[in-house]
Structures are given as C-alpha cells and as structure tokens.
Structure 1
Amino acid sequence: MTPIKTLLLCGYACGLALAVVGCEEAKQVAEPPRPVRTVIAKPAAIGEEVAQTGEIQANVETNLGFRIDGRVATRTAEVGMNVVKGQVLATLDPSDVQNEVLTAEAEVKSAEAAEGLARAELDRQRTLFKKQFVARARVEEAEANWRAANAKLNVAKTGLQTARNKLTYTELRAPDDAVVSAVAVNAGQVVDAGQPAITLSSTHERDAVFNVSERIYTTVPLDVQVEVALVSDPTIKVIGPIRDASPTADPVTRTYRVRIALPGAPDAMTLGATVTGRIILPGKSLIVLPASALTSENGKPAVFVVQPASQELVRKPVVVARHTATQTLIESGLNEGDAVVTAGVSKLRPGQKVTYDAAEVTK
C-alpha cells in the first residue's frame, strides 16, 4: 500500500471515530422530558377572613350627676364596684335643703290655718244668710276669701312636695344594676347641677367594640354576623350582629368604630376584656394554588405552566391577592384550565420538556 493510501485510510478512520464520539456526546446531552406534578387552574369565589382586635364595653354607659348644686358630703362608689338598682353612690350636704323643707312645712301649716279660718267664716255667713241676718254679698265675699285661702294652701303643699323632692336629690342613686366605670367627684367638692360625677356601665347588655379600616368598613354588609372570641380563651365565643357603626372616621386614626352586639354573652366576657372578631369579606374570583407553585421572574411572582401542545414549560407572571400558610391565591395572570406546576419549580426553566400523568392532575 502506498504511503498516500495509508494516509487517507488513517484520516478516514479518525474522522469516523470523531463522528462516533460526537454522536455519543449528543446522546448524552439530550435531556429526557422531566416528570412534574401539576394542578389545573380553576377560578372560584373565595371570601377573605378578616380578624380584628377589640374590647368588651357596656351597651349603655350613663353619666350620673346631682340634680341640684351643693357640696359633696360622702362618696361610696369606687371604680370597678358592682352596684345594684337604688344603691346610694354619693350624697350632698342636706342642711340647706332640710331648712327649705322646714320652711315649706311651716308655710303649709300657716296656709291650713288660714284656709280653716276662711272656711269657718264662710259657714258662719251662710248660716246668717239663711236666717236673713246678712246680705248675699257677704256670703259671696266669704266664698271668695275661702277660695283664695284654699289656693294658697294648695300652693304651700306643692312647695312642700318640691322641697321634699329636692331633699332626695341630695342622694345620688344607681338607676340600675351596673359597674362603676369612672368617678369624677370627691367628698368636700362643690358641684353644679348636672355636673358628671359617676359613670355607670350597665351589666345587662355588652358589646364588642372595634376600630376598623375604611376597606373593611365599606366592604362589610350591615347584616353580617361576627364571631367574637376572648383572646385569653378562644373557646369562649359569641356570634352577634352589628349594633351600630360610626358614620365618620376618627380624625387621628382614620378608623371607624363598630359595635357588635353580644346576645347572651357569658360572664367571662367581662367589661374591658380583649376579644378578636372574625368575619368573611365578600369573595371575588381567585385561583388557589399550593404555596410551592410560586416562583419569580425579575423579582415578581410567577408560576410555570405546561403548554399542552408542545409539553414545554412557560413561566407566567401572576398577581397574588394574598397568601395563607399553605396556599397562594392568584388574582390574575392565569387562565382557567392552565396546568400549573406545583413542585420543584426552583429546578425548572422555561422551554423545558415535561410530562405529567393526567390521572394525577387535581382540580
């Protein structure tokens, strides 16, 4: 064999060997389709649970004050004290009013004497008139005097009743069973009529009071039922309706005060206790995905979706409405029926071939 032919054969053999090696490398580089787990996107109306912290307050709070001026003589009420209907909470010095009562009693006695004398004179004039000893005019005059005396007696009796009523005003009594929530006077203090002295919180009805944001205030319907539970013991709970809501926002916090009625509230829900109120806001169309399905693209939330025709992955940006411990709720970015990858998304890339068993797809 000539040197030229030998050289050609060697070159051919080398080229063939390189081709074989290249084919083997190509076979090694080719990646098989990756099996993935998916879930089918299906929008559903999902309400949002909102929890708010508030406190227990009395439905009725009454500011008590004396109906007359005076100096406070005693005060038995203390903050936190339970009082019963009719219990004396504070008193005024009654000396001046007692003198008014004595004066009114004297005026009544004087008026009674004058009225008795006028009646006797009228009887005497009538007797004399029957015997024709006096003229009719004398009888009419006696009648007029008696009517005037009787009127003065009635006025004196009314004055006495007023003075006696005024004497009762020196005592400040509880109008109903309640708890003393505030005290604003002390013994020896001079107070004006109507000046707030003691605040009572009724124990008959209790409310849960919350300061809520504008979003909740404008979204929640007035007929919603709110679950209220004690923070210290969540097993103690009451479901009640909205009793009333503030029509304007607080100028500082920009929140709205909402009161929730607590029918049949247990004794454990004492005034001032901290509670949590939970409601479900009206739902909107969202797609629920496992939290493991979420990845990112350029720092924004995204998910991998399988293209049915090519069995390749596409990364779609999404708008997340909110998260839970195990789920992600998607507001937009997906279409109904999209097959969303739910596991191992950190190891996937766009355009990658995948396979999935239709029987394993969940809805």
Structure 2
Amino acid sequence: MAGIPGLLFLLFFLLCAVGQVSPYSAPWKPTWPAYRLPVVLPQSTLNLAKPDFGAEAKLEVSSSCGPQCHKGTPLPTYEEAKQYLSYETLYANGSRTETQVGIYILSSSGDGAQHRDSGSSGKSRRKRQIYGYDSRFSIFGKDFLLNYPFSTSVKLSTGCTGTLVAEKHVLTAAHCIHDGKTYVKGTQKLRVGFLKPKFKDGGRGANDSTSAMPEQMKFQWIRVKRTHVPKGWIKGNANDIGMDYDYALLELKKPHKRKFMKIGVSPPAKQLPGGRIHFSGYDNDRPGNLVYRFCDVKDETYDLLYQQCDAQPGASGSGVYVRMWKRQQQKWERKIIGIFSGHQWVDMNGSPQDFNVAVRITPLKYAQICYWIKGNYLDCREG
C-alpha cells in the first residue's frame, strides 16, 4: 500500500498534463503576461557554399558559465543583436543561405515599424543528469502518447527531441543539427519521427483487457524540407560562454496532421505556475519511450532557465512548456517558453553545483521564430 500515494500523485499530474484536472483554485489563475513585441525581418540573403556535414552529433552541450557569469555579461547592442539573430537556412538539396535581419518596434499608432535605437539592447561531468531519486515518468499506451500535449513531442533522426509548433514546423536545439562550426552528419537527410501504434486497432499486439503489456509503438518518419539556425549559435558570431542561441526550427516536407503547441515569450520564473516547468523527450537510456518530467526553476538569466529536471542525452531539444490562463480567450493554454539545451556546472557561492539548462524564448527570439513559421510579422504580434 505504500506505493498508492505515489501512484495517485503521478496520475494527478498526468491528468493535469492532458487537461482533465486543474491544480489551481478558482480565485487565482497564473495568467499569460502581455508583451510589446519587436519585429525581426529579413533584409538580405546571400548564397553560401554547401557544408560538408562532417560534425558528429552531440546529444548534449555543456558550459561552465553559470547564472552569475551570464548576469555579469553586457546585453548585446543593437548591431550585435542583428548579427546574432541573422540566420542560416539549410535546404534538403544541401544548398545553404545566410539571411541578415533588421530589428524594429511598432510605432505607438501601430501603423508602421521603426528601427530600434542603436543604443538599446535588448570539472569532470557525470554522464547522468539525475538529481537524487529519478523522477522521470515513461509514458505508455496510445491513450496518453497520442493525446496532447505528449503527442507534440517528436524524435529527430540525429537522436534529439523536437516539439511540434505549427502544421509543418518543429522546434528543437541548434546543437542537434549544428555543432557551432558545421552541420552534423545526417542533417542533409534529416527526418522527424512520430510515435504511432505498431498495429492497427484490433490487430495483433493491440491493448485489450487481458493484456498486461503496453501497446507496441513505432516511429513514422517525415523528411525535413529546410532548417533555420541563428547566427548567434554559430561560433565566431557570438560569445562562447553559454547556450543563449541553442535553438533551431525545422520545416517538414508535408503537414503532420497533429495538434501542435504554440510558442510564447517566457515569463519571469516567479510568474510560472508553482515556479515549475514541464517537458517530454526521448531520453536515450529508455529507448523508444517518451519520458515526461517536471521540476522547479532554480535560477534564471535573461536568456536561460536553470533547473534540475532529471534528463538524459536524447532529451535535448525538448520544448519546455507551462500552462497558464489566457485572459483574452478566457481559457487555459499551454505554450512552449523554452528549449531544453543541456548541462552546466555552476559555481554557487564557491561550491560547484550542476544544472540542466533551457534556452528561454525572449521577445526577440519569439519574433524571429514566429516569422520563420508564419512568413510575416503581422501574425506575430501576440507572444
């Protein structure tokens, strides 16, 4: 009987995750904040030579620069921000382009865009990033795996995780396809895998009341048409102290026909429901399983969230999400507010401490990613 409370606790959180139970009382609702969002628009595009696709895929990245290190780093100038948000596009035929961008703010009347003022700115490691008791939950059965939000998690052929953020788009970590110098092996023929039942309903292996085994699942793959990687991730364009620009967007060759999760600007950690984040990924120590976890945010900088969610390589690229109240539509809504990147050793008051790190979706990053998805800034005014 000792395990019953733990099972009830897990069931409660899974039901919350699929939207059947709300853990919040009626008088107080954590609400999505409103932001005045900038506009990031392409200015010019240059053809580049084809890459050699010679990098080895790394399922995690690391940095020794912790919160205090990042907080002591000056924010980028306007010109630096334009450079970091410029991006490379890789196409399925191996061709590659570089696009320079401009950053604008809407005028107060809302009838046009203006340039931002040029003076403004927007040890040895353990192989396992498990903190004490392993609090991850493997998700079994199509009733959960094929239901939102778990159904938005997909697997990349390079070994990472991604999240569906539009009808044909997947958000993931940049290091899953680019090591900072060149593209990783297999990126030219990159595919995205969707978990589906191995057998049709009623077929051999399907769940029934007499079977104690979970239904077998398989991946169905869709090829990627093109990828976008910000220049801030590519070495020589931004400082090398952190993971601020470790994100990428993949466009599929055809629609995936699943419900997706919208992106949103990351609120301050103190505004997150319970100070907690959630994400699901394909950790490589549980092959073929989708693994869900949640944990508290321990610290934050403008670009990063520091937490101790249990995770393994393979979970990199997972979309970090929260569920908050949407005042305009009067409903609860989940949004991706970050991308799980990797692991850091952090010097906390003279003693080393390790964290897992997520890249926050800031207003500028939201404007950039949204433009990649929508193709126009008018549909990117609400974060």
TM-score normalised by the shorter chain: which range applies?
under 0.3
Task: State TM-score, norm by structure 2.
Answer: 0.16
Quick check: which has more Rg, 1 or 2?
1
Q: TM-score, normalised by structure 1?
A: 0.17
Q: Which has the higher contact order (CA 8 A, sep 6+)?
A: 1
Whichever structure has more helix as a proportion of its residues is: 1
